[in-house]
Structure 1
Amino acid sequence: MKLKDLKAKNYFFQAIDHPILERILCKNTSKHIWDSMRRKYQSCAKTKRQQLQDLRTEFETLKMKSGKSITYYFSRVMPIVNKVRLQGDKSDDVSIVEKILRSVTPKFNFVVFAIEESHDIDNLSLDELQSSLLVNEKKLIQPEQEEKSLQVSTPAGKHDKTETNGYKDS
């Protein structure tokens, strides 16, 4: 029995972050460690409800910032969605897809319209939405990059000195 307890304690020590580990080092058995962790992380229903409300508010107020990429925006949205789901909320992909479509920057308005018209939003997954937005983002960025590279390759204010009246002297 003692060997099994030591193995269980070892698994706890490997899986737990250092700051928490310091709190449980004084516990004698794996059962004491388990009970301590359960008391610490098992919130009461009222606390869970409040945390869920806070996460929902954070999710609803989230908007894509101008100049930021779709990848960056999804990296801000998905952790919140995952936390909401971990709290026990069974929100479906449809509400998340609709929220994302509402909160992207105005330069994606035509993309949002096209997605809404061409896809059944009820059946559109988050992965499909992200993929579609990424493809369109690349199409939006490509002309800007080409224009910048043309501006760099043609210095402003430099003209051929031999040109007069619109004709070049040969």
Structure 2
Amino acid sequence: MKNKHQGTTRAKRQQLQALHTEFELLRMKPGESVSDFFSRTMAIINKMRIHGEKIDDVKVIEKILRSMTPKFNYVVCSIEESKDLDQLSIDELQGSLLVHEHKLIQQDNEEQALKASTNNNTTT
């Protein structure tokens, strides 16, 4: 019985080490949506918690903010300056970043529409 328990403890520790490495190396990929990045992040966090790791939300929030692509830099700075990260929830952070992402997409669409209309006017 003792060997069986030690085996599962050792296996659990190894799995947790692998998850720690995955968490440390986690970065938002270029072109990845905020929702997809949060899904990947929370999948790792949930696995870590299942294996007994006590990881605070503030640690997750700080990691997410550090791991965003450069196009989110000024929003990340704004969040860090204006919000108390100890009081901020992961859902609130996701909401703020989703709003910013939506504005970026809308701005890109408007610029593309403007370019298309400009190109149509020059070819006629």
Structure 1 segments (4+ residues) deviating >2 Å: 150-157
TM-score, normalization by structure 1: 0.65
Within the alignment, does 1:44 sit opposite 2:8 as a pair?
Answer: yes
Distance (whole Å) between structure 1 residues aligned to residue 89 and residue 32 of structure 2:
22
Shift of 1:123: 1.1
Match of 1:153, SS state, is: helix
Summarize the alignment of residues 1-170 of structure 1 with structure 2, pairs less than 5 Å apart. Answer: 44-155=8-119, 157-159=122-124
Match of 2:19, SS state, is: helix
Matched letter for residue 153 of structure 1:
S
Structure with a larger share of its residues in helix: 2
Distance (whole Å) between structure 1 residues aligned to residue 98 and residue 59 of structure 2:
20
Shift of 1:154: 3.8
Match of 1:44, SS state, is: helix
- Deviation per CA, 1:47-100, whole angstroms, max 9, x where unpaired? 111100100110110100111110111111111111000001110101000000
Number of aligned residue pairs: give it.
118
Q: Aligned-residue CA RMSD in angstroms?
A: 1.5
What runs of 5+ residues in structure 1 fail to find an aligned partner?
1-38, 160-170
Identical amino acids, percent of aligned pairs: 58
What runs of 5+ residues in structure 2 fail to find an aligned partner?
none
Larger RCO of the pair (alpha carbons < 8 Å, separation 6+)? 2
TM-score, normalization by structure 2: 0.88
